[in-house]
């Protein structure tokens, strides 16, 4: 063995202890001068332990925090546990344990054996655990605030029911009609549930996206989910009645082509409007639709079905009587649950009209002429067959038609959103009880604040059943309480709330952890919030991140927080794959972080994870690659520990490379481009090696550049070089732009755009000088022989292109 072996175990243990004892990772929350709140999505402490995907995300976020610290900020980087939920409840049932014991064990394992080893600067004095009463008391407090603001309401509605999880799901938890957790086909059930009025905030949630500094990919997903669409509400008088059938359309300009109407089968007016001779047929169709699973209903290329109910509307534009149908391609729950069908200009209406032989009338024409339509024309054009609007461009027609109808009280402009209210109730055990009491006289009454938290009772049997009746309803002595308002016998709400409520405000709680009189201290909140940087996975774009923005806005409106957007910056990290494929237990291609922390050490693991690809795009893990990173760490170690450190000034090429590295690494860390930052530190390391000596200035600069990426070994070496304190408090090295310029420069010479050689000339050489030098290159001379130079493109210091 000719080199000293770097003992990562001893070094990591030593510095972990020193950092903890000296409180390096605990900023003064009441007095910090340059507060920087560096947040990452807290994990779910599963029994399997920390996933390498978590390590990937946390490392990327931690590097950002460490870099900011070295740049002079007081960085607050808390960590916690999102530990309520079906996952651990199911697991507890499976192994016959109680979720509370299970979670305490898992949290301990996560924190002590895993999170504390990855080298992150977590402030453990401010940990949260959503399942502890001191936390969920505030979850309940938040619920009551929402109730007081009129943003929590109860409604009996068809909700998504997962027959396997035996609970309801929010719309956001249903992916292509399947439960996002267990993949079971979701059915619909009529249940009384609590909802939060997120739809009241649809416009703000949409509008603010233009003003916040978030990953574009995340904003796009949110825009998509909110699905704002501008159009009009139009009223069609029902033939023979005084009332109207209201529809939402984004194409009021096509109203002259509305040749029939379609209502959703679930529409309540269907009963009233159906002609007596159609009742049997309508009832049969509605029954059939009820039986149809959502999956079948949206299956591709499914032929259109529907029934003419024998009633008519008057088209307010043409005065025609047009038939009303019901069909399952019109959804109850979007818009008004009824549409005006314009087969000429809507693909779905076209398919339906073709199937049932309904008239198709062209009213928008790209060229102003009439055509035989083979398919719906959905593009722009001019209005035809639409007196008195003929010739009007369709874009203009939209507002003109709406205005025309509005004048007669038959419509108005309207913006519709796809976003629907957030269903909060869950018929499960392992969650925060909903702090409400149902009284026959007073209705739903909040639990008085001094009685919070409503403790989750210990149940022997907490398994759910298919009745829709929650497990807590079985705890009779817990459920039966007097009404806080009138004292009459009443019952607690026995549902628990959606876990996403727990995680929708945890970032507000972190700075105030330990204060049991207040959810979040106003002074600390003002100092530390909104969050400066939030890093997490984009899979939460429509769930956690949307709910959190909504809740923050609602709290802002209630005067409870002084800002309406919770996160100044959000960056979505990519996914870590392995050998080109997504990691999954079933494929058996998961990377075990514990083993690697043991065998390679935290620094090597951190560096290699970040080296696998651009952090915001994800990376591809290869087992063979990590050895190279370990070699890099050992080279750093040997650079300091093996040779002699020389105090001569750094000059010449090495000085230039060093300043270039300072610039490059700083810029890359700023942009979360950790893979190229690491490459740049390797280049500097290679340049020091090639220089033949280890000069103090160069070595110390290198250590500082590597410090946020590999905190342990750099701290060790920093002290080995005789320093006190910690390398991690900075300052970050500065570069001198003047030092980036070399005395001579290599200029590529192209002939007709093709590279033929390179000349080395003094920096600032003129076009003439470069051209002279270029002629002396054999390859260039050959190319120029017997030809006339037509033009010379010269970029001083960069390139010359000779055109012949």
Partner RNA sequence: GCCGAAGUGGCGGAAUCGGCAGACGCGGCGGACUCAAAAUCCGUUGAGGGCAACCUCGUGUGGGUUCAAGUCCCACCUUCGGCACCA
Residue whose CB is less far from RNA, 131 or 604: 604
304 counts as binding RNA under rule CB under 7 A: yes
Alpha-carbon distance of 609 to 534, in angstroms, equals 19
Residue whose CB is less far from RNA, 212 or 217: 217
526 counts as binding RNA under rule CB under 7 A: no
DSSP state, residue 435: -
221 counts as binding RNA under rule CB under 7 A: yes
Alpha-carbon distance of 163 to 503, in angstroms, equals 25
Instruction: Find the binder of RNA among 612, 633, 706, 761 (CB under 7 A).
Output: 612
Task: Return the C-alpha torsion angle 395, 397, 399, 400, nearest 10.
Answer: 150
Helix-strand-coil split of the chain, %, nearest 5:
40, 20, 40
754 counts as binding RNA under rule CB under 7 A: yes
601 counts as binding RNA under rule CB under 7 A: no
The b/e string for 512-549 (b: 16+ C-beta within 10 A; e otherwise) is bbeeeeebbbeebbebbbbbbbbbbbbebbbbbbbbbb
250 counts as binding RNA under rule CB under 7 A: yes
Give the nearest distance from C-beta 259 to RNA in angstroms: 13
Query: Beta-carbon neighbour count of residue 758 at 10 Å?
Result: 12
217 counts as binding RNA under rule CB under 7 A: yes
**Residues in 533-572 that interact with RNA by CB under 7 A:** 538-539, 542
753 counts as binding RNA under rule CB under 7 A: yes
Inter-CA distances, 94 with 87, 90, 179, 430, Å: 11, 6, 20, 14
Stretch near RNA under the rule CB under 7 A, chosen from 310-318, 475-483, 616-624, 702-710: 616-624
Helix (H, G, I), strand (E, B) or coil at 423: strand
**Residues in 326-355 that interact with RNA by CB under 7 A:** 328-331, 334-337, 339, 346, 348
469 counts as binding RNA under rule CB under 7 A: no
750 counts as binding RNA under rule CB under 7 A: yes
**Residues in 378-417 that interact with RNA by CB under 7 A:** 416
Helix (H, G, I), strand (E, B) or coil at 542: coil
User: What are residue 308's DSSP bridge partners?
Assistant: 325
Stretch near RNA under the rule CB under 7 A, chosen from 16-24, 61-69, 669-677, 718-726: 669-677
Give the nearest distance from C-beta 81 to RNA in angstroms: 25
632 counts as binding RNA under rule CB under 7 A: yes
679 counts as binding RNA under rule CB under 7 A: yes
773 counts as binding RNA under rule CB under 7 A: no
187 counts as binding RNA under rule CB under 7 A: no
Give the nearest distance from C-beta 755 to RNA in angstroms: 4
Query: Beta-carbon neighbour count of residue 595 at 10 Å?
Result: 10
185 counts as binding RNA under rule CB under 7 A: no
Instruction: Find the binder of RNA among 101, 758, 763, 768 (CB under 7 A).
Output: 758
116 counts as binding RNA under rule CB under 7 A: no
Closest C-alpha among 70, 142, 132 to residue 104: 132
Residue whose CB is less far from RNA, 674 or 718: 674
297 counts as binding RNA under rule CB under 7 A: yes
Burial label for 370, CB within 10 Å (0-12, 13-18, 19+), is exposed
Stretch near RNA under the rule CB under 7 A, chosen from 13-21, 24-32, 381-389, 672-680: 672-680
Closest C-alpha among 583, 600, 730, 594 to residue 669: 730
User: Are the beta carbons of 800 and 757 closer than 8 angstroms?
Assistant: no
Q: For RNA, how many residues bind (rule: CB under 7 A)?
A: 90
Closest C-alpha among 77, 60, 420 to residue 215: 60
Give the nearest distance from C-beta 347 to RNA in angstroms: 8
Residues 410-449: x where in contact with RNA by CB under 7 A, - otherwise, as a string: ------x-x-------------------------------
DSSP state, residue 554: H
Give the nearest distance from C-beta 576 to RNA in angstroms: 10
The tokens of 527 are what?
A: 């100092």
Residue whose CB is less far from RNA, 216 or 647: 216
Residue whose CB is less far from RNA, 479 or 688: 688
User: Are the beta carbons of 255 and 340 closer than 8 angstroms?
Assistant: yes
259 counts as binding RNA under rule CB under 7 A: no
Helix (H, G, I), strand (E, B) or coil at 39: strand
The tokens of 187 are what?
A: 């059915």
375 counts as binding RNA under rule CB under 7 A: no
**Strand order across the beta sheet in which 533-537 lies:** 74-76, 35-40, 533-537, 569-573, 213-214
184 counts as binding RNA under rule CB under 7 A: no
236 counts as binding RNA under rule CB under 7 A: no
Alpha-carbon distance of 79 to 65, in angstroms, equals 13
279 counts as binding RNA under rule CB under 7 A: no
Residue whose CB is less far from RNA, 331 or 459: 331
The tokens of 503 are what?
A: 């995680």
DSSP state, residue 455: P
613 counts as binding RNA under rule CB under 7 A: yes
């Amino acid at each position: 063995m000719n080199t000293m072996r770097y003992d990562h175990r001893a070094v990591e243990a030593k510095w972990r202890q020193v950092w903890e004892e000296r409180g390096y990772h605990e900023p003064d929350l009441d007095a910090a001068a340059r507060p920087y709140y560096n947040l990452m999505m807290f994990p779910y402490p599963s029994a399997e332990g920390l996933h390498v995907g978590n390590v990937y995300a946390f490392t990327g976020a931690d590097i950002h925090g460490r870099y900011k610290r070295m740049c002079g900020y007081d960085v607050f980087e808390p960590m916690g546990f999102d530990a309520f939920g079906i996952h651990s409840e199911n697991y507890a049932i499976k192994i016959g344990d109680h979720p509370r014991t299970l979670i305490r064990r898992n949290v301990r394992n996560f924190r002590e054996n895993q999170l504390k080893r990855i080298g992150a600067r977590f402030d453990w004095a401010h940990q949260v655990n959503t399942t502890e009463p001191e936390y969920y008391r505030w979850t309940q407090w938040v619920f009551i605030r929402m109730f007081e603001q009129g943003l929590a309401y109860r409604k009996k509605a068809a909700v998504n029911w997962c027959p396997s999880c035996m609970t309801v799901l929010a719309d956001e938890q249903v992916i292509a009609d399947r439960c996002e957790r267990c993949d079971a086909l979701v059915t619909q059930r009529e249940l009384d549930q609590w909802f939060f009025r997120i739809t009241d905030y649809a416009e703000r949630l949409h509008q603010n996206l233009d003003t916040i500094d978030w990953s574009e990919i995340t904003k796009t997903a949110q825009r998509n989910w909110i699905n704002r669409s501008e159009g009009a509400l139009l009223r069609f008088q029902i033939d023979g009645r005084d009332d109207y059938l209201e529809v939402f359309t984004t194409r009021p300009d096509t109203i002259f082509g509305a040749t029939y109407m379609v209502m959703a089968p679930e529409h309540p007016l269907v009963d009233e409007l159906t002609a007596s001779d159609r009742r049997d047929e309508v009832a049969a169709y509605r029954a059939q639709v009820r039986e149809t699973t959502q999956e079948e209903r949206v299956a591709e290329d499914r032929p259109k079905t529907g029934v003419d109910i024998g009633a008519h509307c008057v088209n307010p534009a043409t005065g025609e009587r047009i038939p009303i149908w019901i069909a399952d391609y019109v959804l109850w729950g979007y818009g008004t649950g009824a549409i005006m069908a314009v087969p000429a200009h809507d693909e779905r209406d076209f398919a339906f009209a073709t199937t049932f032989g309904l008239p198709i009338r062209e009213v928008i024409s790209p060229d102003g002429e009439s055509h035989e339509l083979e398919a719906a024309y959905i593009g722009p054009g001019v209005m035809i067959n639409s007196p008195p609007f003929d010739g009007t461009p369709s874009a203009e027609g939209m507002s003109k038609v709406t205005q025309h109808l509005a004048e007669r009280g038959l419509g108005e402009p309207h913006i519709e959103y796809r976003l629907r209210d957030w269903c909060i109730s869950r018929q499960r055990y392992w969650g925060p009880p909903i702090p409400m009491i149902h009284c026959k006289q007073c209705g739903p009454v909040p639990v008085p604040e001094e009685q919070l938290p409503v403790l989750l009772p210990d149940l022997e049997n907490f398994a759910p059943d298919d009745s829709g009746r929650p497990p807590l309803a079985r705890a009779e002595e817990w459920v039966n309480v007097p009404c806080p308002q009138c004292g009459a016998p009443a019952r607690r709400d026995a549902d628990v709330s959606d876990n996403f409520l727990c995680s929708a405000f945890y970032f507000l709680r972190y700075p105030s952890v330990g204060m049991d009189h207040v959810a979040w201290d106003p002074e600390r909140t003002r100092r530390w919030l909104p969050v400066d940087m939030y890093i997490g996975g984009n899979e939460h774009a429509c769930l956690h991140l949307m709910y959190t923005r909504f809740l923050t806005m609602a709290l802002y409106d209630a005067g409870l927080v002084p800002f309406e957007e919770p996160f100044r910056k959000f960056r979505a990290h990519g996914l870590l794959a392995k050998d080109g494929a997504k990691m999954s237990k079933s494929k058996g291609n998961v990377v075990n972080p514990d083993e690697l922390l043991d065998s390679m050490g935290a620094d090597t693991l951190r560096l290699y994870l970040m080296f696998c690809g651009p952090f915001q795009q994800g990376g591809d893990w290869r087992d063979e690659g990590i050895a190279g990173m370990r070699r890099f760490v050992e080279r750093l170690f040997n650079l300091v520990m093996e040779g002699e450190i020389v105090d001569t000034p750094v000059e010449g090429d090495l000085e230039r490379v060093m300043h270039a590295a300072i610039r490059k690494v700083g810029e890359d860390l700023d942009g979360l481009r950790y893979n190229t930052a690491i490459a740049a530190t390797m280049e500097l390391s290679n340049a020091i090696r090639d220089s033949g000596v280890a000069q103090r200035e160069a070595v110390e600069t290198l250590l500082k550049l590597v410090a946020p990426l590999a905190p342990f070994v750099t701290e060790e070496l920093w002290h080995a070089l005789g320093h006190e304190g910690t390398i991690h408090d900075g300052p970050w090295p500065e570069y001198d732009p003047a030092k980036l310029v070399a005395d001579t420069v290599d200029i590529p010479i192209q002939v007709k755009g093709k590279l033929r050689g390179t000349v080395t000339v003094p920096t600032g050489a003129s076009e003439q000088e470069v051209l002279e030098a270029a002629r002396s290159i054999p390859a260039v001379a050959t190319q120029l022989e017997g030809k006339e130079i037509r033009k010379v493109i010269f970029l001083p210091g960069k390139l010359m292109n000779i055109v012949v």
